[in-house]
Amino acid sequence: MDRPSLQKQLLAALAIVALASNRLIQLQMENAIQTSPNVPRLAASHYLNSAPLIWSFLNGSLQKTVELIDAVPARCSEMLRAGEVEGALVPVIEYQRLSGIRLVPEVCVGSKGSVRSVVLVTRKDDLKDVHSVALDESSRTSATLLKIIFREFLNSEPDWITSRPNVETMLSETDAALIIGDPAMTFSRDDLRIFDMASLWRQFTGLGFVFAMWAVRESEAGKLAHIDFNAARDEGLREMDTIISHHETRIPLPHQELKAYLTENIRFQIDEDLEQGLKAYFELAWKHGLIPESKKLEFLRPSARTPA
C-alpha cells in the first residue's frame, strides 16, 4: 500500500478516535446533568490542595451522593450566595460576608508554615518598597490576608488592582503580584522574590492559617445531613498517591514534591492553632474595614449535621 493511502487510513482512524472521545465526554456531561433533584449540589475548586476533600465525591465511596461542580474559589462563594448550590468549599473570608450559612467543623484547607500555593511575587527586596499589587482575580481570603499584612504589620497601603493570574503581565503593571492555587507552584522564579503568605502570617502572629472550609446554607442543612465531610477527607487522604498521579499530568512537578506539598505544607483538619488563627484573621479583617462585622464561628454538629 502506498504512503498516501496509509496516511488517509491513519487520519480516518484518528478521526474515529476523536469522535468516540468527544462522545464519551458528552455522555459524562449528560450523566452529570441528569442528577436527581434530591442530590445536594456542592461547588469546589479542583486545585490540588482541595483534591483530598473532594476525591471521595468524585471517585470514592461517596460518589453520586452529591453533584460536584468545579469552580474557582471566588465563584464557589458566589454560587453559594445565589443559592445555586447547597454547600461549597469557600474562601473562609466569605463566611463573614454571606448570611445564613454554617461552617462544616474540623475540615479545612490550611497551613501551619509555608503553604507554597499562596504567594506574593515581587522584584523588590523589602515589602515596604511595594507600592502597588495585582491580586489574583480568583482570590478572596488571600487578598484580604495580604491587605491585613500591609495595614496591620507593615503600616502601608499599596494601590490594589485585580488581574488574571499571569505573573509576567501582573508584574509589568505593579510592584507585586498575588498568585494562588496550582499556578502559584509552577511559574518561573528567576529574578523574583517570593513571599509565602502563610509563612508571613505565622511570622507576624505565631498562628496557623485557614484558607478554605466547607460552608452550607442553613436552610439546606437537612439536605446535607447524610454527607460525612470528615469521612470524605479521610478517604481522600488514604488515596493520596492516586490523587497525585492524576494531578501530576497537569502540574509539572515530581511526584514526591507534590506529595510533600499535600502532607507537609497543607493541613486538612482544624486544630486549636488553626482555629485561633482563623479568629485572629477575622478580628483583623473587621478592624481594617474588610468585613462588615466579625461573626462568631458557628458550625454544624459533626454527628447529626444539624445546626448547633
pLDDT digits (tens, 9 = 90+) for 257-285: 999 999 999 999 999 999 999 999 999 99
* Beta-strand pair 118-122/267-269: unpaired
The helix/strand count (H/E) of the chain reads as 11, 12
Q: What is the pLDDT of residue 17?
A: 35
Q: What is the pLDDT of residue 1?
A: 54
Q: What is the pLDDT of residue 6?
A: 47
Q: What is the pLDDT of residue 36?
A: 55
* Segments in the chain below pLDDT 70: 1-37, 301-308
- Which of these, 111, 74, 67, lies nearest to 89 by C-alpha position? 74
* E strand residue ranges, 207-281: 209-217, 267-269
Look at the alpha carbons of 18, 23, 24, 28 in this order and tell me if their dihedral is positive or negative: positive
Model pTM score: 0.84
Angstrom distance (rounded) from CA 198 to CA 115? 6
CA dihedral 13, 15, 19, 24 (to 10 degrees): 60
Helix (H, G, I), strand (E, B) or coil at 58: helix
How many CA atoms does the CB half-sphere of 30 hold within 13 Å?
Answer: 6
What are the structural domains, with CATH classification, of the chain? Answer: 40-111+209-287 (3.40.190.10), 118-205 (3.40.190.10)
With beta carbons less than 8 A apart as the criterion, state whether 76 and 43 touch.
yes
Tell me which residue has cell 447524610.
Answer: 226
Tell me which residue has cell 523589602.
Answer: 126
With beta carbons less than 8 A apart as the criterion, state whether 282 and 96 touch.
yes
Can you read off the three cell numbers belonging to residue 87?
Answer: 454547600
Angstrom distance (rounded) from CA 143 to CA 120? 10
Tell me which residue has cell 488574571.
Answer: 164
Backbone angles phi and psi of 253, in degrees to 5: -130, 150
Angstrom distance (rounded) from CA 52 to CA 242? 10
